Chains A and B, each alone.
Chain A
């Protein structure tokens, strides 16, 4: 009798897991980030202002959205998870869309380009966040 052999796509399963987690993260956290950086920051609604202990009635306005990450590990993590998750989800989904429109035969090439963009994007993002977190500035 012929033995059945099946090759479980383990790596693809893991990448899909990250993709779906990325989608959930994007759905929950991206609106929060957009609110903070595109609405709260320009309109001065969210603590980009600090209290001056010497003068409790004075507020020092610090107009710099990098305050979100500077010196705050949780802030840096929040930005990293939100952007990296959304990036991964977006590129993976884009590849699916290309497959749907019939570019299946270019899949290997598309996958290579997709993962290249994801990983370069994530490395650049990590570099900027670490620089911000440690120095408060980017050199």
Chain B
């Protein structure tokens, strides 16, 4: 029986050699249980050791293997070859990020944004260990739990046309994470985070395209986080006019 073959077209770009990116096509032996990352690993191991891409866990947890697969931002480790027509697949680096090499993009901007929103619990005064844990009910947990499932894969940024137009936009994942802490009953850092998310290039740039929530592989709904953060911003602004002393 002849071996079935998948055709993988991959963007190649070596800034030190190439003036611009180009596609290179590889033929890979196909198995039904193969994901795009397996195909890339096959290429690297058997056909072309110079192909460069990121990956680590191979199970949709580390968030490092994102790429544009047939034009859509996806995790290569979670995209089966059999999902694609004719088993001919185009793999490109995620949109809107500078390319370092082949499929590897520069994450610097995203990392800065993540740190900017202070993704940790802020307390006005830390309690002593002897005083015990900060308790939380399951209802309180429900308010933010989905937003804590983010794996920082940046697919939502690759899908967001507004981020593509303006890289200063705080963007989906960073806002979802900020909102995760804003809604956490143990956190007391609203006064610190609100000014960050309510800058013009915080949430207000978002025009509700919604692709961020469509492409998220972990079921996070960044668009919802952005909308809720906008409601908080509008409420605070109106309160500060009606109650200049009491409102924020």
Residues of A within 8 A of B (CB): 4, 6-14, 16-17, 20, 96-97, 99-100, 102, 104
- Would B237 and A10 count as touching, CB distance under 8 A? yes
- Would B237 and A100 count as touching, CB distance under 8 A? no
Chain B residues with CB below 8 A from A7, complex form? 195, 199-200
- Would B204 and A99 count as touching, CB distance under 8 A? no
- Would A9 and B207 count as touching, CB distance under 8 A? no
Max count, chain B CB within 10 A of own CB: residue among A8, A96, A97, A100: A8
A61 CB to nearest B CB, Å? 45
Residues of B within 8 A of A (CB): 161-162, 165-166, 194-196, 198-200, 202, 204, 207-209, 230-231, 233-238, 240-241
- Would A16 and B234 count as touching, CB distance under 8 A? yes
CA distance A7 to B235 in the complex (A): 17
CA distance A104 to B207 in the complex (A): 12
Do most interface residues of chain A lie in helix, strand or loop, or is the interface mixed? helix
CA distance A99 to B207 in the complex (A): 8
24 pairs of residues in contact across A and B, judged by CB atoms under 8 Å:
A6-B196, A7-B200, A8-B195, A8-B199, A8-B233, A9-B200, A9-B202, A10-B237, A11-B237, A12-B204, A13-B198, A13-B230, A13-B234, A13-B236, A14-B234, A14-B238, A16-B204, A16-B234, A17-B235, A17-B237, A17-B238, A20-B234, A97-B207, A99-B207
CA distance A12 to B234 in the complex (A): 8
Q: Which residue of A lies closest to B248 (CB)?
A: A8
A7 CB to nearest B CB, Å? 6
Chain B residues with CB below 8 A from A16, complex form? 204, 230, 233-234
Q: Which residue of A lies closest to B208 (CB)?
A: A96
Known: A16-B204, A96-B208. A10 touches B240 (CB 8 A): yes
A9 CB to nearest B CB, Å? 4
Max count, chain B CB within 10 A of own CB: residue among A10, A13, A16: A13
B171 CB to nearest A CB, Å? 15
CA distance A12 to B162 in the complex (A): 17
Chain A residues with CB below 8 A from B165, complex form? 99, 102, 104
